[in-house]
Chains A and B, each alone.
Chain A
């Protein structure tokens, strides 16, 4: 198949670029090696829409962070994904912290972050009564927010898809060749795609994808930097209302404690360089480390409130501290979007606007007059007023059958998640789209029911159902 643009990777970067490109007249395909969107770095991070005071002035990180943060409210409205501007506080526990916080404040002001303010211990404890009373100073950033990263990616993808972008999953790119003025991309299942432009959004694999195209060592090297997290029950979600960072000190960058968009409490991450790009195992030491560090912010963090742990990989660049965004100097029509670590999630919407504009100009693409920027999320029975619940169940009785009791998710929502394009194919896909299984019993009760619904709706045998693709089967072959 021939396309104007081939995007490699369906994380938040690939997904957002795909959606922005769908506002132009050009054919776009996204190739993803896994069976769903947002299953790498995008699904496992802090979910913060950073204000933008952290990145060094003048960097791409600072520029796209501040722009992306400003886009978040209207974007979350258009694409209907969970976002809340809850504000952040960087907490300082030592006298020396004040100087560092002032530096961050000035950095933020120069980069264009609004309403930053140094606040006192009393002000902090008034805003956040559970914070360690040994806190001395804080930097308040009211424009910081929280976002559900995988739901944001899913929203982007559904919108891109409805605007004509094609998504091919289980499509690991193994060969990239240049033929005349085009690229020929071959996947592990031996399918070929021909495109004028390749956009490399392959996250922790972006150096490998680059060298597939150049046939030599990539000019940049990705280091997979693992971060581990603990997620707490919604019962403890209101222990913090702001996102609470720690002032970077000689002890390191510290960890955050934050509410999530769904009302849980999240603590983490640490930072550990990994050799294996696929290793997202949590570690005994890592989980202890984040808990100990988070206890500095909040001494009364309830360990019995933890419902799950997870880890994600940041794609950190060895050669640079900044994002790499742009056409390669040597490879014609090859566009890298690499090293998109924090604040990458916040920056993604702005990066996507920028990249799509550059690529559209390069290919001389016109505006897509049929582009519809609006996407609606799957209705959540748990969040609706009674009149709407009643109407919804009347139209589709499956919305009256609750499958996940902890998060109150109905069969209607699960069935819709399977049939959206692109839809959920496994238990984790259902979880990210509907929250079924995200709650305090962690899929204890709903696993058998969701397996059954998946098998029924996908016309598969129940022994073919997986947790997250590949060989992650739930039961033995019959």
Chain B
């Protein structure tokens, strides 16, 4: 058994920022555990630009963005282990991990930050009938094969889902010489960033079918064609609208799911909406000393927000280790209502040390001309006007210290959408 003050599970953008946050708050005995052969996580395969606009006011590629944080970790000499997979978390913060050189590692941690990211929903999860032929990839898998392994996944492509990865891959596959015949989106709107629709589809005349889905996959050995149909208002396919597109590749960009196996097995309370842990404003989960941040907590659309949130998680883990977190304070629940699907944090602690709180949230549908409001005991204490909100773009509310002070023991806290007529 080896001991560390802080163990960070995951060396992607979340884990790196958490490590830096903890280090800069005075914690030196840190270990980052990364299952892949490089630090940087999924950013390594995101070779397109557009990262870091928010944080660095620059347009970086994924690897460039990652390297800013990796360099910091190297500069601080924060230890990390690569090709190492955490397979269990049990007892009182005991981590079991495996790798080739150490074999079996048992690590006793005083605090843990879970920063293990998310995974893509597979075909099976969206119940598409038909053949189980080759040529069906989740978009991120195809991205890895193309960008990291230098392979061509196919010639004629249909993409299901207009999330950012789907859009980015439409452009990437086009650059690789493939013909992207259609991007198909179940909803009547895209969950991707607007700039990606313009730069990845419109610029290349790739048709985008809203309110359509793939209902059947055909092909003997390799994919031969997909059947596409329009969906009704309940998202059920209207079978007599079905048409076929010949293609050898189907990429799926149908949602990301936080990978919370470790937390779940450790009985951390998880949210059914985000599939991540339920945390307070310190990013601490229901288990004392276990923190969560990044895409394992809830799926973000910008890595800048991941870094920001994770830096905070690292800082709070440091505070916890230094005994500076008040663990006995009263916990209040933040209620998302009227079009707000969830908020992170879901809980807030009320103690004497008031500090600003950032609430992140997603809405459940497209709404125009709205105010996002924070209500404490039915009184609006903060509001933010938005011309349009969509489920694809995360919203934030930054609540300053003096307003946070209005939250008292027993207060009712609500974040809601108010529609201006």
Do these two chains interact?
yes
Interface residues on B, range: 35 or more
- A287 and B127 alpha carbons, distance in the complex (Å): 8
Interface SS, A side = mixed
Report whether B130 and A282 are in contact in the complex, using a CB–CB cutoff of 8 Å.
yes
Task: Using A445-B119, A473-B222, A475-B152 as known contacts, say yes or no to A400 and B99 having CB atoms under 8 A apart.
Answer: yes
Task: Using A308-B124, A444-B138, A472-B133 as known contacts, say yes or no to A397 and B101 having CB atoms under 8 A apart.
Answer: yes
Cβ of A284 under 8 Å from chain B: yes
- A469 and B222 alpha carbons, distance in the complex (Å): 10
- A448 and B140 alpha carbons, distance in the complex (Å): 11
- A287 and B144 alpha carbons, distance in the complex (Å): 31
Contact residue among B100, B124, B216 (Cβ-Cβ distance under 8 Å from A306): B124
- A444 and B123 alpha carbons, distance in the complex (Å): 10
1/0 per residue B67-104: CB within 8 Å of A?
00000000000000001010100000000101111111
- A386 and B95 alpha carbons, distance in the complex (Å): 12
Cβ of A466 under 8 Å from chain B: yes
Task: Using A405-B35, A472-B222, A473-B222 as known contacts, say yes or no to A448 and B144 having CB atoms under 8 A apart.
Answer: yes
Report whether A394 and B218 are in contact in the complex, using a CB–CB cutoff of 8 Å.
no
Residues of A within 8 A of B123 (CB): 308, 442
Least distance between B129 CB and chain A CB atoms (Å) = 5
- A405 and B216 alpha carbons, distance in the complex (Å): 29
Task: Using A284-B215, A441-B122 as known contacts, say yes or no to A408 and B87 having CB atoms under 8 A apart.
Answer: yes
- A271 and B264 alpha carbons, distance in the complex (Å): 37
Report whether B137 and A447 are in contact in the complex, using a CB–CB cutoff of 8 Å.
yes
- A470 and B134 alpha carbons, distance in the complex (Å): 11
Task: Using A393-B100, A401-B99 as known contacts, say yes or no to A441 and B119 having CB atoms under 8 A apart.
Answer: yes
Least distance between A290 CB and chain B CB atoms (Å) = 11
Report whether A307 and B125 are in contact in the complex, using a CB–CB cutoff of 8 Å.
yes
Contact residue among A389, A471, A472 (Cβ-Cβ distance under 8 Å from B98): A389
Cβ of B148 under 8 Å from chain A: yes
Report whether A309 and B145 are in contact in the complex, using a CB–CB cutoff of 8 Å.
no
Cβ of A382 under 8 Å from chain B: yes
Cβ of A398 under 8 Å from chain B: yes
Closest A residue to B122 using CB positions: A442
* Complex interface residues of chain A between 278 and 327 (CB less than 8 A to chain B): 278, 280-284, 286-287, 303-304, 306-310
Task: Using A308-B122, A382-B87, A400-B103 as known contacts, say yes or no to A448 and B129 having CB atoms under 8 A apart.
Answer: no
Contact residue among A281, A307, A444, A472 (Cβ-Cβ distance under 8 Å from B141): A444
Task: Using A286-B129, A445-B119 as known contacts, say yes or no to A397 and B134 having CB atoms under 8 A apart.
Answer: no
Report whether A402 and B125 are in contact in the complex, using a CB–CB cutoff of 8 Å.
no
Cβ of B154 under 8 Å from chain A: yes
Contact residue among A231, A278, A394 (Cβ-Cβ distance under 8 Å from B124): A231
Task: Using A393-B100, A462-B151 as known contacts, say yes or no to A470 and B221 having CB atoms under 8 A apart.
Answer: yes
Residues of A within 8 A of B217 (CB): 281
Least distance between B15 CB and chain A CB atoms (Å) = 15
Contact residue among B87, B129, B137, B239 (Cβ-Cβ distance under 8 Å from A309): B129
Report whether A284 and B100 are in contact in the complex, using a CB–CB cutoff of 8 Å.
no
Report whether A284 and B35 are in contact in the complex, using a CB–CB cutoff of 8 Å.
no
Report whether B148 and A306 are in contact in the complex, using a CB–CB cutoff of 8 Å.
no
- A397 and B216 alpha carbons, distance in the complex (Å): 43
Task: Using A284-B216, A386-B104, A444-B120 as known contacts, say yes or no to A309 and B131 having CB atoms under 8 A apart.
Answer: no
Cβ of A78 under 8 Å from chain B: no
1/0 per residue B132-150: CB within 8 Å of A?
1110011011001100110
* Complex interface residues of chain A between 230 and 245 (CB less than 8 A to chain B): 230-231, 235
Residues of A within 8 A of B154 (CB): 475-476
Cβ of A113 under 8 Å from chain B: no
Cβ of A463 under 8 Å from chain B: yes
Task: Using A389-B104, A401-B83, A444-B140 as known contacts, say yes or no to A307 and B215 having CB atoms under 8 A apart.
Answer: no
Report whether A463 and B134 are in contact in the complex, using a CB–CB cutoff of 8 Å.
no
- A307 and B123 alpha carbons, distance in the complex (Å): 8
Closest B residue to A279 using CB positions: B131
Residues of B within 8 A of A401 (CB): 83, 98-100
Report whether B98 and A400 are in contact in the complex, using a CB–CB cutoff of 8 Å.
yes
1/0 per residue A221-232: CB within 8 Å of B?
000000000110
Report whether A393 and B96 are in contact in the complex, using a CB–CB cutoff of 8 Å.
no
Closest B residue to A283 using CB positions: B129
Cβ of A353 under 8 Å from chain B: no
Cβ of B27 under 8 Å from chain A: no
Cβ of A42 under 8 Å from chain B: no
Least distance between A276 CB and chain B CB atoms (Å) = 10
- A280 and B133 alpha carbons, distance in the complex (Å): 10
> How many A-B Cβ pairs are below 8 Å?
144
Contact residue among A235, A306, A393 (Cβ-Cβ distance under 8 Å from B125): A306
Residues of B within 8 A of A475 (CB): 145, 151-154
Task: Using A389-B103, A394-B103, A447-B137 as known contacts, say yes or no to A463 and B151 having CB atoms under 8 A apart.
Answer: yes
Cβ of A375 under 8 Å from chain B: no
Report whether B103 and A448 are in contact in the complex, using a CB–CB cutoff of 8 Å.
no
Residues of B within 8 A of A478 (CB): 151-152
- A399 and B104 alpha carbons, distance in the complex (Å): 10
- A281 and B16 alpha carbons, distance in the complex (Å): 44
1/0 per residue A326-358: CB within 8 Å of B?
000000000000000000000000000000000
Report whether A390 and B103 are in contact in the complex, using a CB–CB cutoff of 8 Å.
yes
Residues of B within 8 A of A308 (CB): 122-124
Cβ of A178 under 8 Å from chain B: no
Cβ of B330 under 8 Å from chain A: no
Cβ of A440 under 8 Å from chain B: yes
Report whether A402 and B222 are in contact in the complex, using a CB–CB cutoff of 8 Å.
no
Least distance between B267 CB and chain A CB atoms (Å) = 14
Closest B residue to A477 using CB positions: B152
Residues of A within 8 A of B138 (CB): 441, 444
Cβ of A31 under 8 Å from chain B: no
Closest B residue to A228 using CB positions: B129
Residues of A within 8 A of B148 (CB): 448
- A349 and B222 alpha carbons, distance in the complex (Å): 35
- A306 and B126 alpha carbons, distance in the complex (Å): 8
Least distance between B231 CB and chain A CB atoms (Å) = 13
Residues of A within 8 A of B87 (CB): 382, 402, 408
Residues of B within 8 A of A444 (CB): 119-120, 122, 138, 140-141
Residues of A within 8 A of B101 (CB): 397, 400
Report whether B132 and A310 are in contact in the complex, using a CB–CB cutoff of 8 Å.
yes
Cβ of B155 under 8 Å from chain A: yes
- A474 and B239 alpha carbons, distance in the complex (Å): 30
Residues of B within 8 A of A381 (CB): 98
Least distance between B246 CB and chain A CB atoms (Å) = 16
Closest B residue to A234 using CB positions: B261
- A307 and B103 alpha carbons, distance in the complex (Å): 31
Report whether B151 and A440 are in contact in the complex, using a CB–CB cutoff of 8 Å.
no
Residues of B within 8 A of A200 (CB): none
Report whether B127 and A309 are in contact in the complex, using a CB–CB cutoff of 8 Å.
yes
Residues of B within 8 A of A468 (CB): 134, 221
Residues of A within 8 A of B96 (CB): 386
Least distance between A378 CB and chain B CB atoms (Å) = 16
1/0 per residue A369-411: CB within 8 Å of B?
0000000000001100010011001100111111001101010
Smallest CB-CB A-B distances: 3 pairs: A308-B124, A442-B122, A402-B85
Apart from A281-B129, A445-B141, 7 more pairs, CB < 8 Å = A286-B129, A303-B127, A307-B122, A386-B104, A468-B221, A476-B152, A478-B152
What are 12 of the A-B contact pairs (CB < 8 Å)?
A: A235-B264, A280-B131, A281-B131, A390-B104, A400-B99, A401-B100, A408-B85, A440-B122, A448-B148, A471-B220, A475-B153, A476-B154
